[in-house]
Structures are given as structure tokens and as C-alpha cells.
Amino acid sequence: MTSEPNGRLRATLIGFSAVALWALLALFTVGSAPVPPLQLNAICFAIGGAIGLIWVATTEGFGVLTRISWKVYAFGTAALFGYHLLYFSALRLAPPAEASLIAYLWPLLIVIFSGLLPGERLRALHIIGALVAFAGAAMIVARGGVAASTESLPGYGLAFLCALTWSSYSLISRRLGAVPTAAVAVYCLATAALSGVAHLALEETLWPATTRGWVSVLALGIGPVGLAFYTWDIGVKRGDIQMLGTASYAAPLLSTLALVAAGVAAASLLLVLAAAMIAAGAFLAAMASRSR
């Protein structure tokens, strides 16, 4: 039988696989052009939901879905759809670097508010580690410079709501530990439907023009906008949520490295420094968790 510490570590590693998958989001999104954001959202979440249904059908059966409260489904759908709608809106109303940086406060918020969860204790090293990792991530996200402006305040506000939405979803999911991960399949399908409606109301329909584009869309639906949400659910419910929050700052680093490997971005000394800071932050958080 697996001991509780080992089970917690395993769940944390499973959760971190979501971060690794999200690191491919930028690369595949670039490849999916010219598909607009909400249309892409609808397609990818439909694929992710279908994957979930296949998994449910071959494991627990669809009966497990009928035993979950509609309130849980409403919560998960509002979080997934709300996060992406807020994020896309923020990028339209504020410079991408600044908006992304504010939106990426969610791992720090997870670490800070995790101390309110039953059985969790927030230590100083958790906060220090999260701040160091955030600084490393900020160096990458804002590497082109930032220039705050009053005209962009609505976008900054939406970006902060974006961070608040995802951190709240992750923390509340922890409280809903008894809800099976199968529920994420319904979250994804409902998010796909809402994204489709929003797309028809706000965007022009455009489809991938090349094979590479279709492969990128399929890859997004399978990984960053599919399996990632299932593994994240397992991680935040059963793993070390403070360690997971801090380690999430590796996503922008891994994303940039993926773009470098694909020849879309150039390598730089900044990446090395950012990597060292993110690794140091994660190490501090791990030491704090181990001292428990």
C-alpha cells in the first residue's frame, strides 16, 4: 500500500504535469493561427471534454456524473469559461506583457491563501519562495519592458480578476476533494458550448489554413486544454498545493524554452537567470513543505 506522503508526492507530480502541458500553450496557439481565441477555446474544450467522457466510460462509468451536484458543475464551468474570457478580454484592453504578468499572480495567490485550507499551514518560506519564483517569471513575461497607463486600467482589472478566478478555482477544488475528477469532463464540454456562443456573438469564424494549423488545434485540445485540467484537478485535491502553486511559475519559463526549441524565439542570458530564480523559489517552497 502507498503511504500517505508518497501518495501526496505522486499527486503533486501529476499536478505539475499540467504545468508542463500549459508550457506548450503558446507554441500550439501560434501554430493554430488564424483561428480566433473564443473559437479556438470552443474547439479545444470540446476535444478535452470528449477525452474525459472516453475516460469516464472506460473506468467509473457515466453513472458517476449523475451523482455530482449541479452546483459543482456550475462552479467548474464558471471558473474555466470565466478565466479564459477574462484573460482574452484583458489582452484586448491592456498591453499583453502587463496583462499576462498580472494574470500570472494566480500561483502566488494560491500559496498565500492556502493557509486558510483545513490541514494546511503556511510558512514564511512558502511566501518567500513564491515571491522569488514570481520575480523569475516576471522577467520572462515582461522581458520586452512594461509601460503602465491609465487607459489600460480596465484591462489590468480584468487580468487581476483572471488571477483571482483561477486561484479561487484551485483552492475551492481542494475543498471539494470528494468530487471525482470525472466532473472536469462536464466542465470542459459546458465551457466549449459557452465559448461557441461567445464566439458567434463576438468573432469572425476562421479555420486553420494548413495541416500544421489543424495539428496544433488538435494538440491543444489533447494537452494544454484537455488532459492538463484533469491532472491539475488531481494535484490540487490530493497533492501539496503550496508546492504546486510555487512550481507553477515554471510554466512561462518552459513555454519560452519550447518556443526557443521550435525556432520561434531566441535564447538569452535572461532565461538562465529566470530559470535559476524559479528553481530557487520552488526549492524554498519544497523546504517549507518538508519541514512540516
Nearest CA among 250, 292, 289 for reference residue 107:
250
Tens-digit pLDDT profile for residues 132-176: 878 877 776 666 665 666 787 888 889 899 989 999 999 999 989
Using the predicted structure, report yes or no on whether residue 278 has a pLDDT greater than 80: no
Residue 289 has pLDDT above 70, yes or no: no
Query: What does the pLDDT read at residue 177?
Result: 86
- String of b and e for 258-271 (b: at least 16 CB within 10 Å)? bbeeeeebeeeeeb
Which three cell numbers mark 60?
A: 467509473
* Amino acid in the structure at residue 264: V
Q: How many Cβ atoms from other residues are within 10 Å of residue 142's Cβ?
A: 15
What is the spatial distance between Cα 104 and Cα 84, in angstroms, rounded to a whole number? 13
Q: Is the pLDDT of residue 48 over 60?
A: yes
pLDDT attached to residue 230: 96
pLDDT of res. 1: 37
What's the pLDDT at 148?
60
Percent of the chain with pLDDT over 90: 46
Hey, what's the torsion of the CAs at 127, 132, 133, 135, to 10 degrees? 120
In the block, cell 514564511 appears at 124
Are 280 and 135 a contacting pair, CB within 8 Å?
Answer: no
Minimum mean pLDDT range among 19-28, 184-193, 261-270: 261-270
Q: What's the pLDDT score for residue 245?
A: 82
Whether residue 203 is predicted with pLDDT greater than 70 in this model: the reply is yes
Q: Which pLDDT score is estimated for 120?
A: 72
**What is the rounded average pLDDT for all residues in the chain?**
86
